[in-house]
Copies of this chain bind each other. A is one copy, B any other.
């Protein structure tokens, strides 16, 4: 029998989300999360750099989907690369994940520190996309604007996807939002 149960990292994340959802982010201490997972506070910080970070595990995988989408496309047109990245990332948001995403988002929306962390993650995604676009010989300034537009479309789509009553698949919503953005900025 192992001295330590395996999956400490996952247990910590699960305990954290459950406690945050039931009693709030600020009124849950790290020591409490750790105890709930059968560990100590010190061990929590060996897995997660800080308290907000425990809600953002798996971010790298998510960001990788966008980048894979860019790599898959052979185009050098910003719009086509954006669409490819968005389409590819949509796979992450399967319908089974919708309920989980909703409850997680309630927690994030309810705390400023978590909102800030989420924005920072989105900013990191935009940076990565900027680099990926720039490797296709796209002007750096254009690449940055395209990357931020991509993230905007994703965020709007995600918000719509978890809205009450919404049932369309993520990919469908996202294509609609991208069209809206194009229409908005079309020279009239």
Judge if A187 is at the interface, Cβ distance under 8 Å: yes
Q: Which of A137-154 contact B (CB under 8 A)?
A: 141-142, 144-146, 148-149, 152-153
Q: A116-B119, A123-B115, A185-B185 are in contact. Are A152 and B148 (CB under 8 A)?
A: yes
Tell me how far the C-beta of A126 lies from the nearest C-beta in chain B, rounded to whole angstroms.
Answer: 9
Complex: how many Å from CA A96 to CA B177? 40
A35 within 8 A of B: no
Instruction: Give CA–CA (A77, B188) in the complex, Å.
Output: 10
A31 in the interface (beta carbon within 8 A): no
User: Is residue A182 contacting chain B, with contact meaning CB distance below 8 A?
Assistant: yes
A79 CB within 8 Å of chain B: yes
In the complex, A164 has a CB within 8 A of chain B: no
Q: Is the CB of B187 within 8 A of A182?
A: yes
B78-A184 in contact (CB<8A): yes
Could you say which residues of chain B place their CB within 8 Å of the CB of A145? Answer: 152-153, 156, 177, 180-181, 184
Contact at A184–B112, with CB atoms within 8 Å? no
Nearest CB in chain B: distance from A167 CB, A:
17
Residues on B with beta carbons closer than 8 Å to the beta carbon of A136: none
Interface digits, A155-188 against B, CB 8 Å rule (1 contact, 0 not)? Answer: 1100010000000000000000100111011111
25 contacts between A and B (CB under 8 A): A78-B184, A79-B185, A79-B188, A112-B120, A116-B116, A116-B117, A116-B120, A119-B123, A141-B156, A141-B160, A141-B177, A141-B180, A142-B180, A145-B152, A145-B181, A145-B184, A148-B148, A148-B155, A152-B152, A181-B185, A182-B185, A182-B187, A185-B185, A186-B186, A186-B187
